[in-house]
Structure 1
Amino acid sequence: MIAEEADKLIQRYHAYHNALHVEHLRNLKRISNAPPKVVKVPDYWKLDRKFNPFYVKSRRNSIARSITKKLANHSYIPNDPHITEIPKRDGGVRKVSVYQIPDAAV
């Protein structure tokens, strides 16, 4: 499950990166001083490595082993989610909870 969750997020990131690259190539052909390509990563990836799907996928076996042991001991406690605010059209904000990948898989 952890690998599937990480793969889903990796595919989303690759789709973003590929679309950004295609747009950059298009701009290079159309604009003489095309802006540089700036690839961004979500800000919450810096908060904890378990938000980063590339890290989680590379360490999936040890993370799964740790979670399995905690579930067997009834000591598993999910980490607090990162809450991000997205502005709405009407001026308000929508709060979105982003869970660490292992917690989302559990």
Structure 2
Amino acid sequence: MARVRADGHRQILIGDKNYYGAGFEETVDQVGIDMLRPARKGEKPRAGSRFFKPLRQIIESINDTLKGQLDLEHHGGRTPAGVTARIIQRLLAMTAAIWHNDETGQTVRRSLGAYDH
């Protein structure tokens, strides 16, 4: 199996507690991935567990922004390339709006309300 990174360093992947099993963990280890996940019921605590709660809050906030404010569930792309283009387009628009709102001293920097037509 090929390594994840050409420079020989291992990649860290964070998943939920349902990514488990000796076969699964052996496979990800062989391809150069260190899998971090919460311990399942009855398991001893696993490495990195102190990061999961704050990280989950960040991920949920990002998902809410992507789904709600950028409407990414209704992207209209018909091919993988089309979906990718529309997602990148909306992320760039959000980034430009945040930058513009910051530069012009707006009190709410992440809002696209003024640009929604």
Which TM-score band applies after superposition, normalised by the shorter structure?
under 0.3
Which structure dedicates a bigger proportion of its chain to helix?
1
Question: Which structure is richer in relative contact order (CA contacts within 8 A, separation 6 or more)?
Answer: 1
TM-score by length of 1: 0.27
Higher-Rg member (1/2): 2
TM-score by length of 2: 0.25
